[in-house]
Amino acid sequence: MPDTALEESVRLPITSLTPDEQILRDTVRRFAQEQIAPLVGEMDEKQKLEPGILQQLFEMGLMGIEIPEQYGGFGGSFMSAILAVEEISAVDPAIGVIVDVQNTLTANALMTWGNEEQKKKFLPRVMSDTVCSYALSEASSGSDAFSLKTQARKDGDNYVLNGRKLWISNAAEAGLFIVFANINPEAGYKGITAFLIERDRPGFKVGKKEEKLGIRASSTCELLMDDCRVPAANVLGEPGKGYKIAIETLNEGRIGIAAQMLGLAQGAWNHAARYSQERQQFGKTIASFQGVQFTLAQMATDIEAARLLVYNAARLKEHKLPFVKEAAMAKLFVSQVAERAASQAVEVFGGYGFVRDYPVEKLYRDAKIGKIYEGTSNMQLATIAKLTLNG
C-alpha cells in the first residue's frame, strides 16, 4: 500500500519545480522560441521535420532526458521530460510529440524492461543520434490494441515476424522500433511480445507516410514486415509479456500527450493575448473589450486547471505512486482544453485566424489529434469510470 503521508506530500506542491527543472524549462522555452518558431510554418507546409532541429534536440539531451548517466544520459526526472514536451509544444506540437514518443514511450520502455545488454547497446544511441518508434497499432487494432495480427514464430535463435503496423509516429526518422507481435495467437493477448528492431533489419520496411490534418512535421507511417528475422536477444522483457509492457508504457505516455496538449493550449493563449493587444477596432485594442477579456480569462483558467492535472499525474508517476486514473483524467481533460483554446484563439484573431499566415490556424488543426491517439477520449472515460466506481 502507498504511504498516505508521502502521497499527500506529492499531491500538494505539484506546481513547484526543482531548480534543475526550472533551468531545463527555461532553456527549452528559449530554444523553442528562437530555433523552432521561425521554421514552424515551413515544416508544416512541407510535412517534414527540419534535420537541424532534430540534431539540436539530441545535442541538448532532449531525446533521452531520463536516461541514466552510465548509459550516456543526464539522469533527469520524468517531470523534466514532461516540461520539455510542454514548452516545445507551445511553439510546435509536431516537434513536441517527437520528443514525447522518444522519452515517455520508447526510452522509458527500454529503461524499465530492457536487460543490461540491451540497455548498454541501445540507450547511448537513443540519447545521442537514434530516433525511436513505438509500433503497436494496426488496421484492426486501435483501441482494441491486443487484437493485433502481426505474428512472430520462433526459428532457432531468431524470431520471424510478418505483419503490418499503422499510424506509427516518428517512423520516417526512426532507426530503432519497439514492435509488438504475437508469438502464440491461440493464447490471445498472453502471446504478445515486444521486439527491438533496427531499421536496416532484412524484411523490415518503413512504408507510406500519412498526409495528416495536423502535427504534419511529425511523421506517421506504416511498417511492413515480410519474414523479418529478429534475434531472440532482441526480445524486450520476456516472451508473452508484451501486453504488460504496452499497458504500462502507454499509461506513462498519456501524461506526455497531456503535456503536448497543455503546451498547445498555452501557445494558443499566448498568441491570442498578444494579438488582442495589437489589433484595434473602434479606436482601441480589442483587449479593451470585456467580451475578449472574458474569453482570455476563461482560457487561462482552463489552462491552469489542465496544468495541475498534468503535473499531478507526472509527480505521482515519478514517486512510484498509483497514477493511472490521474493520467487518464489529464489526457481526457487537457485534450478538451487544447481543442477549445485553439478554437477560441482563432475567434480572437477573427478572419486572420482562419488563414495560414497566422499561427493559430495550425494549432487548431494540431489540437484534434489529442482526443484520438494514445487512447481515445472514450477509452480514458472507461478507465476513469473503472477506477473511480470500483474504487
* Domain CATH number, residue 269: 1.20.140.10
Catalytic residue ranges = 374
Judgement on whether residues 138 and 161 belong to the same structural domain of the protein: yes
**CATH number where 187 lies:** 2.40.110.10
Angle CA(179)–CA(181)–CA(183) in degrees, nearest 5? 140
Judgement on whether residues 197 and 84 belong to the same structural domain of the protein: no
Domain containing residue 153: 134-240
- Structural domain ending residue among the three candidates 88, 108, 130: 130
The DSSP code for 143 is S
Judgement on whether residues 121 and 138 belong to the same structural domain of the protein: no
**CATH number where 117 lies:** 1.10.540.10
- Structural domain ending residue among the three candidates 61, 96, 130: 130
Judgement on whether residues 60 and 163 belong to the same structural domain of the protein: no
Judgement on whether residues 204 and 294 belong to the same structural domain of the protein: no
Which residue stretches of 32-104 are H helix? 40-46, 51-59, 78-89, 93-100
Judgement on whether residues 151 and 166 belong to the same structural domain of the protein: yes
Judgement on whether residues 37 and 145 belong to the same structural domain of the protein: no
Give me the number of domains the chain comprises: 3
Judgement on whether residues 248 and 219 belong to the same structural domain of the protein: no
The model's pLDDT over 163-221, given as tens digits with 9 standing for 90+, comes to 999 999 999 999 999 999 999 999 999 999 999 999 999 999 999 999 999 999 999 99
**Distances in whole angstroms, Cα of residue 117 to Cα of each of 121, 125, 236:** 6, 13, 11
> Which pLDDT score, from 0 to 100, does residue 391 have?
64
SS3 category, 160:
strand
> Which pLDDT score, from 0 to 100, does residue 10 have?
42
Q: Can you give the pTM of this predicted structure?
A: 0.95
Judgement on whether residues 256 and 306 belong to the same structural domain of the protein: yes
Judgement on whether residues 120 and 191 belong to the same structural domain of the protein: no
> Which pLDDT score, from 0 to 100, does residue 3 have?
47
Judgement on whether residues 49 and 67 belong to the same structural domain of the protein: yes
- Structural domain ending residue among the three candidates 195, 220, 240: 240
Between CA 85 and CA 256 the distance in angstroms is: 7
pLDDT tens sequence for the chain (391 residues): 344 444 444 444 456 899 999 999 999 999 999 999 999 999 999 999 999 999 999 999 999 999 999 999 999 999 999 999 999 999 999 999 999 999 999 999 999 999 999 999 999 999 999 999 999 999 988 888 889 999 999 999 999 999 999 999 999 999 999 999 999 999 999 999 999 999 999 999 999 999 999 999 999 999 999 999 999 999 999 999 999 999 999 999 999 999 999 999 999 999 999 999 999 999 999 999 999 999 999 999 999 999 999 999 999 999 999 999 999 999 999 999 999 999 999 999 999 999 999 999 999 999 999 999 999 999 999 999 999 998 6
Q: Enumerate residues 6+ apart whose C-beta is below 8 A from 106.
A: 126, 132, 133, 134, 176, 178
Q: Are strands 131-135 and 174-182 parallel, antiparallel or unpaired?
A: parallel
**Distances in whole angstroms, Cα of residue 82 to Cα of each of 21, 76, 103, 104:** 10, 11, 9, 8
Judgement on whether residues 138 and 98 belong to the same structural domain of the protein: no
The answer to whether 177 and 206 are in contact (CB under 8 A) is: no
